[in-house]
Structure 1
Amino acid sequence: MEFGYVGLMCAERDYRPVGSRAPRFIKASRPLHLSWQVVIFLLGLAVVAGGVVLLPLPGPGWLVIFAGIGLWATEFPWAQRVLHWTKRKVLEWTHWVKERREERRRRKQAQRVR
């Protein structure tokens, strides 16, 4: 089994269509929707910038960065695709780590039996 398939399979289970998730009354007015997108972009930028600052410091830097991208993903299709790709890669990596851990455990048990 290839790891890429497992990540793709798990990540697509809760995949939503790309596009704006703004309330209907905001999408109805072009100027209001544009203002909404600017606000979401600036909030996401602030969160991502905070995550970048936290990277060299002890703290959840990457988690904060992904939260900012998640905020962007509520409004921008490119961020939704980035988040989907990231989730798939994290699931692939998690599966790979579990496989290695199992393999190491089996080797230890085999050495004890000898």
Structure 2
Amino acid sequence: MYAESDQRPLGSRAPRFIKASRPLHRTWQVLIFVLGLAIVAGGVVLLPLPGPGWLIIFAGIGLWATEFPWAQRVLRWTKRQVLEWTHRFQARRHERRRRKEIKEKQYVR
């Protein structure tokens, strides 16, 4: 039930030359955090308005997940929850269609 991305190890996905220098890597992490925070904040502002507020929030978390293990775990958990919800929704829809077909067959007789 786990997605393929769950198999990847947690940790930074920064380029090697950035990881090679500790000060450069810290600067990179701060930049990623600030950009992710701006995206998440923009998504939160858009939540009460019609539009893709949640999608923007998840994009910000996705950006954080390129650098921070805690965000990778949050993103993996979110993906699993969305997959489970989607499977439940599809199963319910399939069951409703099946019941409707049975009703129609009984009505025709």
TM-score normalised by L of structure 2: 0.93
Q: Which residue of 1 aligns with 2:71?
A: 79
Gaps of 5+ in 1: 1-8
Residue type at the aligned position of 1:109: E
* Sequence identity (%): 77
- Would you identify which runs of 4 or more consecutive aligned residues in structure 1 move more than 6 Å? none
Deviations 1:77-102 (A, max 9, x none): 00000000000100000000000000
The CA RMSD measured in Å over matched residues stands at: 0.8
Gaps of 5+ in 2: none
Structure with bigger gyration radius: 2
Q: How many residues align?
A: 105
Larger RCO (CA within 8 A; separation ≥ 6): 1
Q: Aligned equivalents of 1:86 and 1:38: distance in 2?
A: 24
Deviations 1:38-80 (A, max 9, x none): 0000000000000001100010000000000000000000000
TM-score normalised by L of structure 1: 0.89
Residue type at the aligned position of 1:90: V
Q: Which residue of 2 aligns with 1:65?
A: 57
Note the 1:1-114 alignment, pairs <5 A. Answer: 9-11=1-3, 13-15=4-6, 16-114=8-106
